[in-house]
Structure 1
Amino acid sequence: MDRLLVLVRHGQSEWNLLNLFTGWKDPGLTEQGVAEATAAGEKLKALGLSFDVAYTSALSRAQRTCQIILDGIGQSDLTTIRDQALNERDYGELTGLNKDDARARWGEEQVHVWRRSFDVPPPGGESLKNTAERVLPYFKAEILPRVLKGERVLVAAHGNSLRALIMDLEGLSGDEIVARELATGVPIVYRLDADGGIVEKQVLAD
Protein backbone atom coordinates (compact mmCIF):
# COMPACT_ATOMS: atom_id res chain seq x y z
CA MET A 1 0.00 0.00 0.00
CA ASP A 2 1.35 3.42 -0.98
CA ARG A 3 0.88 5.74 1.99
CA LEU A 4 2.20 8.91 0.36
CA LEU A 5 2.26 12.39 1.90
CA VAL A 6 3.91 15.28 0.05
CA LEU A 7 4.39 18.64 1.77
CA VAL A 8 5.27 21.79 -0.20
CA ARG A 9 5.80 25.30 1.11
CA HIS A 10 4.31 27.85 -1.29
CA GLY A 11 6.57 29.56 -3.81
CA GLN A 12 8.12 32.92 -3.04
CA SER A 13 5.46 35.56 -2.32
CA GLU A 14 5.59 39.29 -2.95
CA TRP A 15 6.05 39.87 0.78
CA ASN A 16 8.78 37.23 1.06
CA LEU A 17 10.65 39.24 -1.56
CA LEU A 18 10.20 42.44 0.45
CA ASN A 19 11.29 40.73 3.70
CA LEU A 20 7.94 41.44 5.39
CA PHE A 21 6.18 39.44 8.09
CA THR A 22 3.23 38.01 6.15
CA GLY A 23 1.14 35.75 8.39
CA TRP A 24 -2.54 35.74 7.40
CA LYS A 25 -2.20 38.56 4.87
CA ASP A 26 -2.68 37.46 1.30
CA PRO A 27 -0.02 38.66 -1.16
CA GLY A 28 0.40 36.78 -4.41
CA LEU A 29 3.34 34.85 -5.79
CA THR A 30 6.26 36.56 -7.49
CA GLU A 31 7.50 35.39 -10.88
CA GLN A 32 10.14 33.43 -8.99
CA GLY A 33 7.41 31.91 -6.83
CA VAL A 34 5.51 30.76 -9.91
CA ALA A 35 8.74 29.28 -11.28
CA GLU A 36 9.37 27.47 -7.97
CA ALA A 37 5.87 25.98 -7.98
CA THR A 38 6.27 24.95 -11.62
CA ALA A 39 9.59 23.28 -10.82
CA ALA A 40 7.96 21.45 -7.89
CA GLY A 41 5.37 20.01 -10.24
CA GLU A 42 8.08 18.95 -12.68
CA LYS A 43 10.02 17.16 -9.91
CA LEU A 44 6.93 15.28 -8.75
CA LYS A 45 6.03 14.36 -12.33
CA ALA A 46 9.56 13.08 -12.92
CA LEU A 47 9.04 10.67 -10.01
CA GLY A 48 5.77 9.52 -11.54
CA LEU A 49 3.77 10.75 -8.54
CA SER A 50 0.04 11.46 -8.63
CA PHE A 51 -2.47 12.21 -5.89
CA ASP A 52 -5.94 11.27 -4.70
CA VAL A 53 -6.60 14.57 -2.90
CA ALA A 54 -4.87 17.89 -2.20
CA TYR A 55 -5.07 20.17 0.83
CA THR A 56 -4.12 23.80 1.06
CA SER A 57 -4.75 26.85 3.24
CA ALA A 58 -7.23 29.69 2.88
CA LEU A 59 -4.45 31.92 1.49
CA SER A 60 -3.94 32.46 -2.22
CA ARG A 61 -0.16 31.97 -2.32
CA ALA A 62 -0.57 28.39 -1.12
CA GLN A 63 -3.64 27.78 -3.29
CA ARG A 64 -1.91 28.99 -6.44
CA THR A 65 1.19 26.92 -5.66
CA CYS A 66 -1.04 23.88 -5.23
CA GLN A 67 -2.83 24.48 -8.53
CA ILE A 68 0.40 25.07 -10.47
CA ILE A 69 1.74 21.76 -9.15
CA LEU A 70 -1.46 19.91 -10.05
CA ASP A 71 -1.44 21.45 -13.53
CA GLY A 72 2.15 20.33 -13.93
CA ILE A 73 1.43 16.70 -13.10
CA GLY A 74 -1.71 16.56 -15.24
CA GLN A 75 -4.21 16.61 -12.37
CA SER A 76 -5.72 20.08 -12.81
CA ASP A 77 -9.17 18.95 -11.66
CA LEU A 78 -8.10 17.06 -8.54
CA THR A 79 -10.31 17.58 -5.47
CA THR A 80 -8.60 20.30 -3.43
CA ILE A 81 -9.69 21.07 0.13
CA ARG A 82 -8.94 24.56 1.45
CA ASP A 83 -8.94 25.24 5.19
CA GLN A 84 -7.60 28.06 7.34
CA ALA A 85 -6.37 25.46 9.82
CA LEU A 86 -3.39 25.18 7.44
CA ASN A 87 -2.79 28.95 7.31
CA GLU A 88 0.57 30.47 8.11
CA ARG A 89 1.35 31.49 11.68
CA ASP A 90 -0.39 34.75 12.59
CA TYR A 91 2.32 37.33 13.28
CA GLY A 92 -0.01 39.78 15.04
CA GLU A 93 1.46 43.27 15.32
CA LEU A 94 4.49 42.23 13.26
CA THR A 95 2.32 41.55 10.20
CA GLY A 96 3.24 43.79 7.28
CA LEU A 97 6.41 45.09 8.91
CA ASN A 98 9.81 44.81 7.31
CA LYS A 99 11.94 42.61 9.54
CA ASP A 100 14.57 45.35 9.85
CA ASP A 101 11.88 47.86 10.91
CA ALA A 102 10.62 45.40 13.50
CA ARG A 103 14.15 45.07 14.90
CA ALA A 104 14.44 48.85 15.07
CA ARG A 105 11.14 49.09 16.97
CA TRP A 106 11.46 46.20 19.44
CA GLY A 107 15.17 45.36 19.35
CA GLU A 108 16.97 42.57 17.56
CA GLU A 109 16.94 40.21 20.53
CA GLN A 110 13.18 40.48 21.09
CA VAL A 111 12.34 40.01 17.41
CA HIS A 112 14.65 36.99 17.30
CA VAL A 113 12.78 35.49 20.27
CA TRP A 114 9.43 36.00 18.52
CA ARG A 115 10.70 34.49 15.30
CA ARG A 116 12.73 31.60 16.64
CA SER A 117 11.32 30.53 19.99
CA PHE A 118 8.75 27.75 20.06
CA ASP A 119 6.27 29.17 22.54
CA VAL A 120 6.67 32.97 22.75
CA PRO A 121 4.10 34.72 20.52
CA PRO A 122 4.53 38.23 19.10
CA PRO A 123 1.99 40.81 20.36
CA GLY A 124 -1.46 39.80 19.16
CA GLY A 125 -0.13 36.81 17.23
CA GLU A 126 0.71 33.12 17.44
CA SER A 127 3.81 31.27 18.53
CA LEU A 128 4.78 28.12 16.64
CA LYS A 129 3.30 26.19 19.58
CA ASN A 130 -0.02 28.01 19.03
CA THR A 131 0.18 27.29 15.32
CA ALA A 132 0.74 23.59 16.01
CA GLU A 133 -2.26 23.56 18.34
CA ARG A 134 -4.34 24.76 15.37
CA VAL A 135 -2.75 22.67 12.62
CA LEU A 136 -2.24 19.27 14.25
CA PRO A 137 -5.84 18.47 15.27
CA TYR A 138 -6.90 19.16 11.68
CA PHE A 139 -4.05 17.07 10.30
CA LYS A 140 -4.82 14.14 12.58
CA ALA A 141 -8.58 14.27 11.97
CA GLU A 142 -8.70 15.04 8.26
CA ILE A 143 -5.40 14.36 6.47
CA LEU A 144 -3.46 11.59 8.22
CA PRO A 145 -6.35 9.07 8.21
CA ARG A 146 -6.58 9.37 4.43
CA VAL A 147 -2.85 8.76 4.06
CA LEU A 148 -2.97 5.75 6.39
CA LYS A 149 -5.75 4.10 4.37
CA GLY A 150 -3.59 4.33 1.26
CA GLU A 151 -4.53 7.62 -0.35
CA ARG A 152 -1.81 9.79 -1.87
CA VAL A 153 -2.06 13.28 -0.38
CA LEU A 154 -0.51 16.62 -1.37
CA VAL A 155 -0.39 19.47 1.17
CA ALA A 156 0.62 22.91 -0.11
CA ALA A 157 0.87 25.32 2.81
CA HIS A 158 3.28 27.59 4.69
CA GLY A 159 6.61 27.53 6.48
CA ASN A 160 5.18 27.37 10.00
CA SER A 161 2.05 25.31 9.40
CA LEU A 162 4.29 22.74 7.68
CA ARG A 163 6.82 22.92 10.53
CA ALA A 164 4.00 21.87 12.86
CA LEU A 165 3.27 18.83 10.67
CA ILE A 166 6.94 17.92 10.34
CA MET A 167 7.45 18.24 14.10
CA ASP A 168 4.71 15.67 14.64
CA LEU A 169 5.71 13.33 11.79
CA GLU A 170 9.41 13.29 12.68
CA GLY A 171 9.02 13.42 16.46
CA LEU A 172 11.02 16.63 16.83
CA SER A 173 11.22 18.90 19.88
CA GLY A 174 10.16 22.55 19.80
CA ASP A 175 13.80 23.65 19.71
CA GLU A 176 14.57 21.27 16.86
CA ILE A 177 11.67 22.35 14.67
CA VAL A 178 12.23 26.11 15.01
CA ALA A 179 15.74 25.55 13.66
CA ARG A 180 14.43 23.68 10.60
CA GLU A 181 14.48 25.78 7.44
CA LEU A 182 11.92 25.03 4.73
CA ALA A 183 12.75 26.35 1.29
CA THR A 184 9.94 27.76 -0.84
CA GLY A 185 8.62 25.44 -3.53
CA VAL A 186 10.61 22.36 -2.48
CA PRO A 187 8.52 19.16 -2.13
CA ILE A 188 9.15 16.86 0.84
CA VAL A 189 7.99 13.34 0.04
CA TYR A 190 7.10 11.01 2.90
CA ARG A 191 6.12 7.37 2.68
CA LEU A 192 4.53 6.11 5.89
CA ASP A 193 3.85 2.77 7.52
CA ALA A 194 0.47 1.68 8.86
CA ASP A 195 1.12 3.47 12.18
CA GLY A 196 2.18 6.77 10.59
CA GLY A 197 5.90 6.14 11.02
CA ILE A 198 8.24 7.33 8.30
CA VAL A 199 9.47 4.59 5.97
CA GLU A 200 11.16 6.97 3.53
CA LYS A 201 11.71 10.71 3.21
CA GLN A 202 12.92 12.57 0.13
CA VAL A 203 13.54 16.31 -0.12
CA LEU A 204 13.30 17.26 -3.82
CA ALA A 205 15.73 20.16 -3.77
CA ASP A 206 17.81 21.11 -6.81
Structure 2
Amino acid sequence: MSKKFTLYMVRHGQTYFNIYNKLQGWSNSPLTEKGIQNAVDTGDKLANVKFAAAYCSDTTRAMDTIQIILDKNRASSIEKANPSMHFREEFYGYFEGTDMDQAWYLAGAPHGLPTFKDIVAKYSIGKAKDLLKEADPFHQAENNDEYWQRVDAGIELIKQNPDISDGDNVLLVSHGNTLLSLVERYGNGQYDISERPDNGSLTKLEINGDEAKITAYNKK
Protein backbone atom coordinates (compact mmCIF):
# COMPACT_ATOMS: atom_id res chain seq x y z
CA MET A 1 0.00 0.00 0.00
CA SER A 2 1.39 3.40 -0.94
CA LYS A 3 1.94 5.97 1.79
CA LYS A 4 1.27 9.66 1.62
CA PHE A 5 3.75 11.86 3.50
CA THR A 6 5.15 15.39 3.38
CA LEU A 7 8.82 16.09 2.81
CA TYR A 8 9.90 19.30 4.56
CA MET A 9 12.87 20.28 2.40
CA VAL A 10 15.23 22.92 3.80
CA ARG A 11 18.13 24.56 2.03
CA HIS A 12 21.29 24.52 4.17
CA GLY A 13 22.42 27.71 5.92
CA GLN A 14 24.61 30.28 4.20
CA THR A 15 28.23 29.22 3.52
CA TYR A 16 31.38 31.14 2.61
CA PHE A 17 31.11 29.93 -1.02
CA ASN A 18 27.56 31.33 -1.09
CA ILE A 19 28.97 34.75 -0.17
CA TYR A 20 31.72 34.45 -2.79
CA ASN A 21 29.20 33.35 -5.49
CA LYS A 22 31.07 30.08 -6.14
CA LEU A 23 29.58 26.79 -7.31
CA GLN A 24 29.92 24.29 -4.47
CA GLY A 25 28.19 21.13 -5.67
CA TRP A 26 30.11 18.29 -4.09
CA SER A 27 32.78 20.60 -2.65
CA ASN A 28 32.32 22.17 0.70
CA SER A 29 32.72 25.39 2.58
CA PRO A 30 31.69 25.97 6.20
CA LEU A 31 28.53 27.69 7.40
CA THR A 32 29.03 31.37 8.14
CA GLU A 33 27.72 32.94 11.36
CA LYS A 34 24.69 34.00 9.34
CA GLY A 35 24.40 30.41 8.06
CA ILE A 36 24.29 29.05 11.60
CA GLN A 37 21.62 31.67 12.37
CA ASN A 38 19.65 30.52 9.27
CA ALA A 39 19.56 27.01 10.77
CA VAL A 40 18.62 28.31 14.23
CA ASP A 41 15.75 30.38 12.77
CA THR A 42 14.46 27.42 10.74
CA GLY A 43 14.81 25.17 13.78
CA ASP A 44 12.67 27.59 15.80
CA LYS A 45 9.99 27.61 13.09
CA LEU A 46 9.91 23.80 12.89
CA ALA A 47 10.35 23.13 16.63
CA ASN A 48 6.81 21.78 17.06
CA VAL A 49 6.59 19.76 13.83
CA LYS A 50 6.78 16.01 14.47
CA PHE A 51 9.10 14.25 12.03
CA ALA A 52 9.07 10.49 11.51
CA ALA A 53 12.52 10.54 9.88
CA ALA A 54 15.28 12.98 8.90
CA TYR A 55 17.64 12.90 5.92
CA CYS A 56 20.33 15.17 4.57
CA SER A 57 23.03 15.47 1.97
CA ASP A 58 26.33 14.08 3.28
CA THR A 59 28.06 17.47 2.90
CA THR A 60 29.01 19.17 6.16
CA ARG A 61 26.94 22.27 5.37
CA ALA A 62 23.79 20.11 5.19
CA MET A 63 24.71 17.92 8.16
CA ASP A 64 25.52 20.93 10.36
CA THR A 65 22.25 22.62 9.37
CA ILE A 66 20.03 19.62 10.08
CA GLN A 67 21.71 18.93 13.43
CA ILE A 68 20.85 22.44 14.62
CA ILE A 69 17.23 21.97 13.44
CA LEU A 70 16.92 18.55 15.14
CA ASP A 71 18.44 19.86 18.39
CA LYS A 72 15.73 22.52 18.52
CA ASN A 73 12.87 20.13 17.69
CA ARG A 74 10.59 19.41 20.64
CA ALA A 75 8.07 17.17 18.88
CA SER A 76 10.33 14.39 17.55
CA SER A 77 12.71 11.94 19.16
CA ILE A 78 15.22 11.93 16.27
CA GLU A 79 18.75 12.67 17.45
CA LYS A 80 20.64 12.26 14.17
CA ALA A 81 19.73 12.52 10.50
CA ASN A 82 20.50 9.90 7.84
CA PRO A 83 23.18 11.47 5.60
CA SER A 84 23.31 10.27 2.00
CA MET A 85 25.16 11.24 -1.17
CA HIS A 86 21.81 10.89 -2.99
CA PHE A 87 20.76 14.29 -1.63
CA ARG A 88 23.93 16.16 -2.62
CA GLU A 89 23.88 19.17 -4.88
CA GLU A 90 24.48 18.70 -8.59
CA PHE A 91 28.13 17.70 -9.26
CA TYR A 92 29.69 20.55 -11.24
CA GLY A 93 32.84 18.64 -12.24
CA TYR A 94 35.62 20.93 -13.51
CA PHE A 95 33.51 23.95 -12.48
CA GLU A 96 33.44 23.06 -8.75
CA GLY A 97 34.54 26.17 -6.83
CA THR A 98 34.32 28.38 -9.93
CA ASP A 99 32.59 31.77 -9.91
CA MET A 100 28.95 30.91 -10.61
CA ASP A 101 28.36 33.53 -13.31
CA GLN A 102 31.58 32.59 -15.10
CA ALA A 103 30.73 28.87 -15.11
CA TRP A 104 27.24 29.40 -16.52
CA TYR A 105 28.65 31.83 -19.10
CA LEU A 106 31.04 29.14 -20.35
CA ALA A 107 28.15 26.64 -20.49
CA GLY A 108 25.55 28.88 -22.12
CA ALA A 109 27.37 31.53 -24.19
CA PRO A 110 28.22 29.13 -27.08
CA HIS A 111 24.42 28.74 -27.43
CA GLY A 112 23.73 32.48 -27.19
CA LEU A 113 22.64 32.16 -23.55
CA PRO A 114 25.17 33.93 -21.31
CA THR A 115 23.49 33.40 -17.91
CA PHE A 116 21.87 30.55 -15.96
CA LYS A 117 18.56 32.46 -16.08
CA ASP A 118 18.84 32.71 -19.88
CA ILE A 119 19.37 28.96 -20.20
CA VAL A 120 16.42 28.18 -17.89
CA ALA A 121 14.15 30.73 -19.61
CA LYS A 122 14.78 29.21 -23.05
CA TYR A 123 15.08 25.55 -22.03
CA SER A 124 15.08 24.22 -18.44
CA ILE A 125 17.23 23.59 -15.38
CA GLY A 126 17.74 20.09 -16.76
CA LYS A 127 19.16 21.53 -19.99
CA ALA A 128 21.51 23.73 -17.93
CA LYS A 129 22.97 20.54 -16.40
CA ASP A 130 23.49 19.05 -19.87
CA LEU A 131 25.18 22.22 -21.16
CA LEU A 132 27.50 22.39 -18.15
CA LYS A 133 28.66 18.80 -18.69
CA GLU A 134 29.20 19.63 -22.38
CA ALA A 135 31.36 22.64 -21.41
CA ASP A 136 33.33 20.69 -18.77
CA PRO A 137 36.69 19.81 -20.41
CA PHE A 138 36.70 16.57 -18.35
CA HIS A 139 32.96 15.89 -18.95
CA GLN A 140 32.67 14.86 -15.30
CA ALA A 141 29.88 17.25 -14.31
CA GLU A 142 26.53 15.49 -13.91
CA ASN A 143 24.14 15.77 -16.82
CA ASN A 144 20.39 15.74 -16.22
CA ASP A 145 20.00 11.95 -16.53
CA GLU A 146 22.90 11.18 -14.20
CA TYR A 147 21.65 13.72 -11.70
CA TRP A 148 18.10 12.34 -11.55
CA GLN A 149 19.23 8.71 -11.28
CA ARG A 150 21.00 9.71 -8.08
CA VAL A 151 18.28 11.94 -6.61
CA ASP A 152 15.45 9.54 -7.54
CA ALA A 153 17.32 6.78 -5.71
CA GLY A 154 17.33 9.06 -2.66
CA ILE A 155 13.58 9.66 -2.84
CA GLU A 156 13.11 5.89 -3.18
CA LEU A 157 15.26 5.40 -0.06
CA ILE A 158 12.87 7.61 1.90
CA LYS A 159 9.77 5.88 0.50
CA GLN A 160 11.09 2.48 1.59
CA ASN A 161 11.66 3.57 5.20
CA PRO A 162 9.36 1.37 7.35
CA ASP A 163 9.30 4.04 10.10
CA ILE A 164 7.33 6.40 7.84
CA SER A 165 3.55 5.97 7.98
CA ASP A 166 0.65 7.52 6.12
CA GLY A 167 0.31 11.23 6.99
CA ASP A 168 3.82 11.59 8.47
CA ASN A 169 6.29 14.44 7.99
CA VAL A 170 9.90 13.84 6.98
CA LEU A 171 12.74 16.38 7.22
CA LEU A 172 15.31 16.74 4.43
CA VAL A 173 18.16 19.27 4.27
CA SER A 174 19.54 19.68 0.77
CA HIS A 175 20.80 22.33 -1.66
CA GLY A 176 19.67 25.28 -3.78
CA ASN A 177 19.90 23.77 -7.24
CA THR A 178 18.50 20.45 -6.00
CA LEU A 179 15.44 22.17 -4.53
CA LEU A 180 15.03 24.19 -7.74
CA SER A 181 15.24 21.01 -9.80
CA LEU A 182 12.54 19.33 -7.68
CA VAL A 183 10.33 22.42 -7.99
CA GLU A 184 10.80 22.44 -11.76
CA ARG A 185 9.82 18.78 -11.94
CA TYR A 186 6.97 18.67 -9.41
CA GLY A 187 5.74 22.28 -9.18
CA ASN A 188 3.36 22.16 -12.18
CA GLY A 189 4.75 25.52 -13.36
CA GLN A 190 3.22 27.32 -10.37
CA TYR A 191 6.49 28.63 -8.88
CA ASP A 192 9.11 31.09 -10.08
CA ILE A 193 12.19 28.95 -10.72
CA SER A 194 14.22 31.96 -11.81
CA GLU A 195 14.51 32.73 -8.07
CA ARG A 196 16.88 30.56 -6.06
CA PRO A 197 15.60 29.37 -2.67
CA ASP A 198 17.04 31.29 0.28
CA ASN A 199 19.41 29.67 2.75
CA GLY A 200 17.32 28.10 5.51
CA SER A 201 14.09 28.41 3.50
CA LEU A 202 11.44 25.69 3.48
CA THR A 203 9.98 23.93 0.43
CA LYS A 204 7.36 21.18 0.82
CA LEU A 205 6.96 18.12 -1.40
CA GLU A 206 3.91 15.94 -0.88
CA ILE A 207 4.60 12.35 -1.88
CA ASN A 208 1.72 9.94 -2.47
CA GLY A 209 2.89 6.61 -3.86
CA ASP A 210 4.37 7.39 -7.29
CA GLU A 211 2.84 10.87 -7.34
CA ALA A 212 4.61 13.97 -6.00
CA LYS A 213 3.75 17.65 -5.95
CA ILE A 214 5.25 20.81 -4.50
CA THR A 215 2.87 22.51 -2.08
CA ALA A 216 5.14 25.37 -0.88
CA TYR A 217 8.34 26.92 -2.17
CA ASN A 218 11.06 29.10 -0.60
CA LYS A 219 9.10 29.90 2.58
CA LYS A 220 11.13 32.01 5.00
Q: CA RMSD in A?
A: 3.4
CA shift at 1:103, angstroms?
A: 6.9
Partner of 1:64: 64
Secondary structure of 2:115's aligned partner:
helix
Which of 112, 117, 127 is equivalent to 2:115? 112
Q: 1:78 to 1:4 in 2, by over 3 A?
A: farther
Q: 1:204 to 1:179 in 2, by over 3 A?
A: closer
Is the CA contact (8 Å cut-off) linking 2:15 and 2:32 kept in structure 1?
A: yes
CA shift at 1:81, angstroms?
A: 0.9
Partner of 2:150: 134
Provide the C-alpha distance between the structure 1 equivalents of 2:205 and 2:116, rounded to a whole number of angstroms. 31
Partner of 2:42: 40
Is the CA contact (8 Å cut-off) linking 1:148 and 1:194 kept in structure 2?
A: no
Code of the aligned partner of 2:14: Q
Which of 11, 14, 30 is equivalent to 1:12? 14
Which 5+ residue runs of structure 2 have no aligned equivalent?
Answer: none
Alignment of 1:104-183 (within 5 A): 106=106, 109=109, 112=115, 116=120, 117-119=125-127, 120=130, 121-122=132-133, 123=136, 124-139=140-155, 141-146=156-161, 149-171=166-188, 179=194, 181-183=196-198
Provide the C-alpha distance between the structure 2 equivalents of 1:182 and 1:29, rounded to a whole number of angstroms. 16
Provide the C-alpha distance between the structure 2 equivalents of 1:131 and 1:180, rounded to a whole number of angstroms. 21
Partner of 1:52: 52
Q: Deviations over 1:58-102 (max 9, x none)?
A: 100001111111112235743421110111111111111223554
**TM-score (normalizing by structure 1):** 0.78
Secondary structure of 1:118's aligned partner:
helix
Provide the C-alpha distance between the structure 1 equivalents of 2:93 and 2:217, rounded to a whole number of angstroms. 34
Provide the C-alpha distance between the structure 1 equivalents of 2:187 and 2:104, rounded to a whole number of angstroms. 32
CA shift at 1:34, angstroms?
A: 0.7
Which 5+ residue runs of structure 1 have no aligned equivalent?
Answer: none
Aligned residues: 199
CA shift at 1:138, angstroms?
A: 2.3
Report the identity percentage: 26
Q: Deviations over 1:124-152 (max 9, x none)?
A: 2123453222101320x211355563432
Does 2:87 match 1:86? yes
Provide the C-alpha distance between the structure 2 equivalents of 1:194 and 1:92, rounded to a whole number of angstroms. 33
